[in-house]
Structure formats: structure tokens, C-alpha cells
Structure 1
Amino acid sequence: MDKTKKLTSQRRDELFEILEGRFKKNMNRHKGISWEDVKSKLEADPIKLWSLNEMEITGGEPDVVVIDENTGEYAYFDCSAETPKGRRSICYDREALDSRKENKPATDAVTMAGEMGIELLTEVQYRELQKHGKFDLKTSSWVRTPDDIRKLGGAIFCDRRYDTVFVYHNGAESYYAARGFRGMLHI
């Protein structure tokens, strides 16, 4: 195990307390799932717990949203009301970042997600998240972009306005203070 991706026992306990509190407060997101089952999966995989900590410290407020009936894996999604604050003002991917000649953002969504050990939500997953609350009413979130769109220089993002989820496009190199990304982690 990568020692840089290991939490101290104190931080581990704090994170479990945060995750359990959020889990119990939002039972509508994960009906039929017990905290004890989720916790035992996390205890068995310290790298995934480290990734959840990264989601937490960047403002994602991760919580269990779905279970894969085929694999039995739980999926943590970022459930912060707005796109996570610690992941805003970034373009879509490394290629887009490298193409900028000036005013480059610090990083990009795809690279940052990879470094955190998580994946960007897809449009379908983003819509699933929106069934569990009202998210991104003032911000927007990059979502995993299909290859055919990306090859043409574009990327897609979503938000919720007028009680409707919208999907939009932008050049992948664009970035805005109110746009970040939401991630997902299977455990």
C-alpha cells in the first residue's frame, strides 16, 4: 500500500464519524443498506477510505447513493449542495489544460479525479444523483464526456435549473469559478 495514501488513526476515526452521520441523516439515498455493511467494506480497503477522505476535504460531502445489484458494490457520490468548492475553476482534462496558452487553471477534472482515486460522474449518474436531492442550483459540474465529443474539442457539464437537469457543452479548455466536478467511488 502507498504510505502517502494512508490516513492516521485519528483522521480515520473522524472520517468514519462524518460518513456515518451523513449516512444516517440521509437514509432516503440508500434504502435497504446498513451502515455496518458499508463500514466493513471501507475497513477492508484503506485506499478507498483515503479516496473518500479526498472527496471530503475538497468539499464533496460523499454519501452512498446506489448499489450495483450485480457486484454488490456500493457507490459513493459527491452529495454537496453545490459542486465541491475544492474542485472548481478547472478545465476538463490534461489535453485541454495543455492546450491553453495563458491563464491556465491549476489542474483539470480528469487528472484531479484520477489522483483522488475516483471517477467523474457520467450524465446518467448525475441524473441519478438528482433523484436524491436538488444539486448544483448555482454551480455546474463537468461530467464524463463521450469520446466522440471530446475528440472534437468539447466536453459536457450538467446543472439543475428550473427544477430540471440540463446538459450543456463547452470547449474542454474552458473553466469557470462556478464549475467543478462531482465524483464517484465504488466500494
Structure 2
Amino acid sequence: MKIEKRKLSSEQCEEILGILKARFEKNMNRHIGLEWAKVQAKLEKNTEKLWSLNEMETTGGEPDVITHDTKTDEFIFYDCSAESPKGRRSICYDREALESRKEHKPKNSALNMAAEMGIEILTEEQYRELQQLGNFDTKTSSWVKTPANIRKLGGAIFCDRRYDTVFVYHNGAESYYAARGFRGSLRI
């Protein structure tokens, strides 16, 4: 994707900043001790990252700040929608899996969509961190970054929350389901 497409108009910037601020203030338990003014200042200096957050929002991810990395001085956003983002479901794991399907191909793959959006797919560890902040994916599931040894054998892993427990499962990387998408992260 071309860089010039990764810019928002001033109206779009104001709109996404308003959405993010409202979500930040509504969910203070996700980022105890962080101040919105500092987050906003970083966002205003990183308009390409703001574009990525807008992509997360428009695909149903409801991104929110979950922590601040003091070593890198970066704020970390995760998709915090209750269920796997609607605009990112019915996709297989990666491009290789997509190309391996002979028929009934999904429209895209999780890793390809994440790259197009300028975000990273959550790892299993990050997914478990997210689940400490609330109950997510109680009716859906989300692809997570798959270890190379599993992917090399044709598999991919996904997670969900059932029975008040986070489960990790496996599937063929080429599989896709209406209730499975992916969650992303973004460092700013």
C-alpha cells in the first residue's frame, strides 16, 4: 500500500481522536496511571499510526491503549472489541494458506490484512494479556501469531474464551470461519 494512502484528513483525525479519547476515558481500568494528553500528543506526531488506528476502528476492532512501554516510550494499543472484529472475519491465516485453496477462497488472510493496516497480529501471550482486562471472544475466536514450526507443518493457532478460560486451538492455516477473525496491536 502506498504511503500517501495512509493519511487521514484533518476531519478524520479529529473524529478518530475523539473516539479514542472517549474509549480511553470509559475504560480506565485498561490503562491505570496513563494520561490521555500524553497519548494524544504521541498520536498527533504519528499520523501514519493514527491512520492504522482508524483502520482498526473501521474494521470493528475498537482499539484502546492497554499499556505504556517505558523502555521504548511507546503506548501500546490492542483491539478491545468484545468479539473478534467483524470486518476481519472469514479469513484464513496467511497468504500461503490463501493461495493453497483451490476453491471457496476467503477474501483475505489475517497476516495480509494486518500488514495492509500497519499493525501486528496478537501473539498468544498478548492475547492472554488482553483477557486479563475483560472477557473477550466469548462467542468468536481470533487467529494469533503462529510459531514457525507449527506453520511449517500447515497449521495455525487461534484463541477464544469459554467457561471463563482462555483456550488455544489449532486448525489448518487455510481454514476460515464466519466467527473467526484476528486482533491486532500497534505501538506508538
TM-score by length of 1: 0.99
> 1:180 is matched with which residue?
181
Residue 90 of structure 1 and its aligned partner are, at CA, apart by 0.1
> 2:50 is matched with which residue?
49
Identity %: 69
Matched, 1:33 2:21: no
The alignment partner of 1:32 has SS state of coil
RMSD: 0.8
Q: Give the Cα separation in 1 of the matches to 2:122 and 2:3.
A: 25
**Which residue identity lines up with residue 64 of structure 2 in the other structure?**
D
Q: What is the 5 A alignment of 1:51-70?
A: 51-70=52-71
Q: Deviations over 1:67-116 (max 9, x none)?
A: 22321211100000000000000000000000000000000000000000
Q: What is the 5 A alignment of 1:1-187?
A: 2-187=3-188
The alignment partner of 1:56 has SS state of helix
Q: Give the Cα separation in 2 of the matches to 1:81 and 1:5.
A: 27
Q: Deviations over 1:43-63 (max 9, x none)?
A: 001100000000000000000
Q: Give the Cα separation in 1 of the matches to 2:147 and 2:32.
A: 31
**Which residue identity lines up with residue 29 of structure 1 in the other structure?**
R
The alignment partner of 2:149 has SS state of helix
Q: Give the Cα separation in 1 of the matches to 2:15 and 2:68.
A: 24
Q: Give the Cα separation in 2 of the matches to 1:76 and 1:41.
A: 12
Q: Give the Cα separation in 2 of the matches to 1:147 and 1:118.
A: 19
Q: Give the Cα separation in 2 of the matches to 1:166 and 1:116.
A: 27
- Which 5+ residue runs of structure 1 have no aligned equivalent? none
**Which residue identity lines up with residue 35 of structure 1 in the other structure?**
W
Q: Deviations over 1:5-57 (max 9, x none)?
A: 11011111111100000000000000111001100111001100000000000
**Which residue identity lines up with residue 103 of structure 2 in the other structure?**
E
Q: Deviations over 1:117-173 (max 9, x none)?
A: 000000000000001010000000000000010001000000000000000000000
**Which residue identity lines up with residue 59 of structure 2 in the other structure?**
T
**Which residue identity lines up with residue 45 of structure 1 in the other structure?**
N
